[in-house]
Amino acid sequence: MSDGAQKPPGPGCRAVDVVRGYADRDAIAVRDALTGLDAVAWQEMYAVLNGLLHSTVSIIEVTGTRWTTGQLVEHADEVATAAPPHYEFAVAEAARAWAGGDRSALSALPGRDPLGAVHVTAAFVAALGLVLWGRTRFLGVLTAYDETVAAIVDGRPSGL
């Protein structure tokens, strides 16, 4: 690689790309963000996504943002359309379970199906972000997340 060539984004930054793909309901962007990655990279992506999930939930708790189960389920159903068909139902079911107080649906997949855990968690982060910030503001938040992840995971300057 020459000095001028850029290295491709690592799994950490691609994790944010997957969330953005779900927020945009763009199945091609979701697929492209996962192309060429292996099980180790999926686990790294899941770790970043899990951090984004916890951050988003913490913001909801700290701000006291009110949302209804219907809002979360509606956004989850919308973003799930970007998932591969065999994960679309899992995304919708995990959102329904979580909204009903069952947090185990989001933590059950990593050991059994790392790629499924990536899809479900990314889609869920997108659904929560849409509930919390709305589409335009959430896409801005994802840009900030992307810069932060790049700085932490990939060792690139964040510009923050």
Q: How far apart are CA 26 and CA 154, in angstroms?
A: 25
pLDDT tens-digit readout, 22-42? 999 999 999 999 999 888 888
Residue 8: the pLDDT is 58
Those residues with Cβ within 8 angstroms of residue 61's Cβ, 6 or more apart along the chain or in another chain: none
Those residues with Cβ within 8 angstroms of residue 115's Cβ, 6 or more apart along the chain or in another chain: 34, 39, 42
Residue 86: the pLDDT is 87
Amino acid at 32: D
Low-confidence ranges of the chain (pLDDT < 50): 1-7, 160
Domain boundaries, given as residue ranges, for the chain: 11-152
Cα 78-29-57 angle, rounded to 5 deg: 55
